[in-house]
Chains A and B, each alone.
Chain A
Amino acid sequence: MQPPFIGSAFKYVDNITYLDDSFCKGSFHFREDLPFYQAHFEGYPITPGVILIECAGQTGCIPLGYSILEKNKLTNLIPVLSNCEIDFFKPVFPGESVTVESEKVYFRKHILKCNVKMFKANGILVLQGNLSCKFLKKDDIK
């Protein structure tokens, strides 16, 4: 089962290198031509923290969540971010790649809480914290 993203306009995951129902590891390369670098910031492009959080979700929590849903034979559910407690340690600049490690804290009542860590080259910690997402039916998203 794949997350319901269409195209690449809001896709911040390239590869998932490990996935089971409690741990996920993946990577993403922040290409220099990504559109937000033109505005964030003028003359000093740096990846927005909110995009790093999205990347941590797409490269960690969401694949992990779909792995759990598949194991539990749950279908047609959409992931919605419900809680975010993230500390940032280092910036990510255009042209850098990151790896994300995501470990399940719990999955109950269709809510997945993960501990996530993002690293860039040489194992430098970029961010660490907890993300929670709810898996909802389309009709329940109001």
Chain B
Amino acid sequence: MEKDRHQIKNLFVEILKKYAKDPSLFENLNDNTEIIKDLKINSARIVDITLDIEEALDIELDDNDMDALFTIGESIDTIEKLVKAKT
């Protein structure tokens, strides 16, 4: 069954938490939160995060999609678009 935006966000945040060193940075999470700057996630981890998303949702992100993994909101937009395109 296709995941809705709320479910995608929860899944995405759980994946991000795997690669974050400071869980307290997730307390004030919103759509404008920047993954690298605000959550202090190593930029090289974007590839690991991408691979986790691809596996969890059975989608593929190309380089442009990966560039869109900037804020939480933009990331969810991108992932949701790919999930919808799959069905």
Contact = CB atoms under 8 A, between A and B. Distances in A.
Contacts of A120: none
A85 to B, nearest CB: 11
B46 interface: yes
A109 interface: yes
Q: Could you tell me the dominant secondary structure of chain B's interface residues? A: helix
Contacts of B51: 106
B45 to A, nearest CB: 7
A134 B66 CA distance: 15
B interface, size bucket: 10 to 19
A109 B42 contact: no
Contacts of A108: 47, 50, 63, 66
Contacts, number: 23
Interface residues of A, number: 9
Contacts of A111: 44, 47
Nearest to A133: B44
A82 B50 contact: no
B63 to A, nearest CB: 6
Contacts of B66: 108-109
A108 B45 CA distance: 11
B45 A83 contact: yes
Interface of A: 82-83, 106, 108-109, 111, 113, 132, 134
